[in-house]
């Protein structure tokens, strides 16, 4: 048998050379000359706040006292009716959709009641087939009719449960 050669899984990488320390020559910056400040603009020694200096404020300028927050102007009133109009229209659409859904549910419950008028008893499976809905949805419809005191459940659980008209 020939000896098997080892196949490297990763491509060979070049050796890592640590960076050589570079000697940086110090960069000289020209001195910044400040314009002379008029005497009336210079702060008095008793009002100078040297303990609260920041990087943005040079030491020879005083910190302005905090003033009241600036009030932002309200958006133009023309935009408000457009936005409320859109919200009102959206709300109307949602109300119509809810009414339509409730109407469909009521019609399905009425179908169950019609089926109970023709037969004296109905099961969950009968409701599933009648309305073309899932087991859970059929249970919800039957529970809603039971809460409305239109039907009553006979039996506790399982296949023996039937519903009859009150």
Going by C-alpha positions, the residue among 99, 118, 119, 97 that lies closest to residue 107 is: 99
- CATH (domain of 130): 1.10.10.10
The answer as to whether 153 is a domain residue is yes
The answer as to whether 96 is a domain residue is yes
Range of the domain at 105: 92-165
Please tell me the total count of domains within the chain: 1
DSSP label of 139: H
Provide the whole-model pTM: 0.49
The answer as to whether 97 is a domain residue is yes
The answer as to whether 118 is a domain residue is yes
The whole-angstrom separation of Cα 50 and Cα 57 is 11
The answer as to whether 77 is a domain residue is no
The answer as to whether 84 is a domain residue is no
The answer as to whether 121 is a domain residue is yes
Instruction: Give pLDDT tens digits along the chain (166 positions).
Output: 555 555 555 555 656 655 555 555 555 655 655 555 555 555 555 544 455 555 666 667 666 666 666 666 665 555 556 678 899 999 999 999 999 999 999 999 999 999 999 999 999 999 999 999 999 999 999 999 999 999 999 998 888 899 999 8
């Amino acid at each position: 048998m020939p000896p098997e050669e080892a196949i490297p899984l990763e491509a060979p990488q070049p050796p890592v050379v640590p960076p050589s320390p570079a000697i940086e020559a110090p960069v000289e910056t020209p001195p910044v000359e400040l314009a002379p400040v008029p005497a009336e603009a210079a702060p008095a020694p008793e009002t100078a706040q040297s303990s609260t200096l920041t990087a943005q404020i040079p030491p020879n300028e005083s910190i302005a006292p905090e003033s009241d927050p600036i009030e932002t102007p309200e958006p133009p009133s023309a935009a408000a009716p457009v936005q409320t109009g859109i919200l009102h229209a959206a709300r109307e659409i949602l109300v119509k959709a809810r009414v339509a859904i409730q109407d469909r549910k009521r019609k399905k419950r009425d179908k169950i009641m019609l089926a109970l008028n023709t037969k004296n008893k109905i099961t969950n499976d009968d409701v599933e087939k009648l309305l073309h809905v899932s087991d859970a949805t059929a249970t919800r419809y039957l529970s809603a009719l039971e809460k409305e005191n239109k039907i009553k459940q006979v039996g506790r659980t399982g296949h023996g449960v039937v519903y009859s008209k009150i």
